[in-house]
Every structure is written in structure tokens, then in C-alpha cells.
Structure 1
């Protein structure tokens, strides 16, 4: 039995670069974290940050371990996932845009209600078209021809986790900074509308593709 060759690490820096661009660019997750940071503050947004940072790499790992091959074999499955994902994101955009700014504390600038939880944020990744596209593209470019695809898939998922943590901190922190400007109901409505528009805009490349 021939020895198993260790995976080449030549792909690490290209994957790191791709992950930075993918995770820092606007999308459903960045909108969610910015909105959460603005509405609930940094500490109460930690569960959402954790859910995203564990959920997205887990999906990438699943694609690398064989889910991607299933999607290629049955294209209708991928199309169905994209349709469901886009529909859910449009619904989420509507919820954000139509959210009433009631309960805004004028001193803390913090909304009442419950922020997105860790499990909810993690499950959101499975209907997030951007994460699916990111996972399939990453594994297609860096994982398909690997001499040890399982180990390489784990390494790629780990890279995305390590990049996701600071990216989540940045976007949530941005939301916290914006929160200081939300002193009136009108300001909150404008902010929610802008976030909803950005969420819809992030879906255009996916739908167009």
C-alpha cells in the first residue's frame, strides 16, 4: 500500500487571501452583524458572531467532504438551495427594513428584544447563497485536486474560521460605532433601510450568476 502523501501547503496563502476578501466584503453575514451591533451592542451580538464563525466553516468542510460532489451530480439540489436562500434573504431584508424602532433607549441606544442566537446564525449559513458560492468556489479551486482532500478540506475550513473571527469583530464593531448616531427613530429607520438594501444588493451577483 503506497504511503499517503502529506497535503501541500502551497494553497494556504491563496486561501487566506480569498477568505479575507470573501468574509470582509458586504453580504448577508456582514449585514446581520452590523445590524446586531447597532441594535444590541457588542456583547449581546457575541452569540451571532460565534454562530457565523462556526457555521460557515462547517458548511465549507461539508462541501469539501462530499456535499459539493452531490451538488454537482444533482444540479437541481443546488438550484433549490439557492432559490430557498435568496427567498429567505429577501424576507430577512424586508424584516430589517420594516422593523419598528420602538424600544430604543435614548441613553444606551440599545433596542429591546432578542438578538440572533448562535444556533440561528449557524443554521442561517445553510441558506446563505454567498456562503454556498464561497464554499463551492473554494473547494473547487483549492480542494478538488488535493492529494489528501479530507485533510485539505479541514485545513481550508480552519483557515476560514481563523479569518472569520476578526472579520466578525470588525463588522460588529462597525455596527456598535454606528449605534452612537442612531439617536432618533428616523435615523434608525434610515439605517435599517440601508442595511436591507445592502442585503438585497449582495444577492445580485449570485442571482446574475
Structure 2
């Protein structure tokens, strides 16, 4: 049955380090798990939209992807590098005004999904490889889109929980943590770009 390979792919793709996971962990360390739900909610909404678009426009997208893939890859790559630099240069979180915005908002989480090559490629690959051969109705496409989104959000929440649980430890080594998260994001940017460039 196709569901086991789909779930295996979705879990591996979702739980590995990537922009959403790293930002979720960083936000939870800085603002706490509960406040990070704003960002994760935006990620969920954006991810679901991308999964639905991947489901309904999969064939049409394949006609255009070869023409725009390199541009999409470059924009996503540069934006991930920008985020990594911002994370590495961020200062200790003590200012209440800083906690109101930035990367920890529903809007940022939603919009970021449309620039996040990992989510876009996750949707296109999962849908084209595992969903399209077996899903033919609107209900099936919606259910598979929800399933892929739920697996992705589970990964974000797991990374955020780790950031929240180890908040004191991570705060003690904040500069080192920010540097490590930034470097992981740079590594993620380069691996995604190399795999799909």
C-alpha cells in the first residue's frame, strides 16, 4: 500500500533540519512554546495551501517547473541565507517590543512557506510520487493534503518543544546556540539548493 512509503517520506522530510524546524526551535527558546504557536499556525496554513496547490495543479506545475525551478531555488536559497545571518546576529531576547514581531508571527509563518523551497519540494514530490497514483477525488486530495500538513506541523512542534524544554540551557549558551542554528540553516540552504539546483 502507498500510505507507508508516503508516511516514511513525509516523516523523514519533515523532521530533518530545515527552515521551519530551526525557526520553531529558536522562537520557542526565545518566546516559549505557547507563543511559538503563532508562527506554527502560519506555517500550518501556508503548508496546507501548498499541499492543496500541489494536489490540484501538479500536472500543470510540472510543465512550468523546469522553466522557473532555478529562479525559485535561488530566491529560496538567498532568503534562507538571510534568515541564517539574522539568527546568528540576533541579540539576547529581553526586550518586550522585540517579542511582538519578527519571525514569531502567524503572517511570517504563512508567507514564508511560499519562499521555503523545502516545503514546496516536499509538496510537489509527495503528491506526484505517492498521492496522484492513488487519489482521484476531491476528498482524497484534501485528506492527503491534511495528512502531509499534519506530519510537517508535528515536526515543527517537536522542534519547538525541544527549544522550550531546554530554554534555560539554550539561554545560557545563546550566542553558541544562535550560531549553531544559523549554520544548520546555511547547511540546509546549501543541501536543498544542491539537490534541486
Q: Same fold (TM over 0.5)?
A: yes
Inter-partner Cα distance in structure 2 for 1:71 and 1:176: 38
Shift of 1:141: 0.5
Could you tell me which residue of structure 1 aligns to residue 109 of structure 2? 121
Q: Which structure would you say has the larger Rg? A: 1
5+ long unaligned stretches in structure 1: 1-9, 105-109
Q: 1:198 to 1:111 in 2, by over 3 A?
A: farther
Could you tell me which residue of structure 2 aligns to residue 24 of structure 1? 15
Q: Does the Cα contact within 8 Å between 2:51 and 2:149 map onto a contact in 1?
A: no
Inter-partner Cα distance in structure 2 for 1:131 and 1:39: 24
Shift of 1:87: 1.0
Could you tell me which residue of structure 2 aligns to residue 166 of structure 1? 154
Over the residues paired in the alignment, what is the CA RMSD in angstroms? 2.2
Q: Does the Cα contact within 8 Å between 1:64 and 1:150 map onto a contact in 2?
A: no
TM-score by length of 2: 0.87
Could you tell me which residue of structure 2 aligns to residue 206 of structure 1? 192
Q: Show CA shifts across 1:35-60 (max 9, x none).
A: 00111001110111111122213202
1:73 matched to 2:73 = no
5+ long unaligned stretches in structure 2: none
Inter-partner Cα distance in structure 1 for 2:75 and 2:147: 27
User: Which structure's residues are more often helix, by fraction?
Assistant: 2
Aligned length: 192
Shift of 1:158: 1.1
Shift of 1:81: 1.7
Provide the secondary structure at the position in 2 that maps to 1:127. coil
TM-score by length of 1: 0.82
Q: 1:73 to 1:183 in 2, by over 3 A?
A: closer
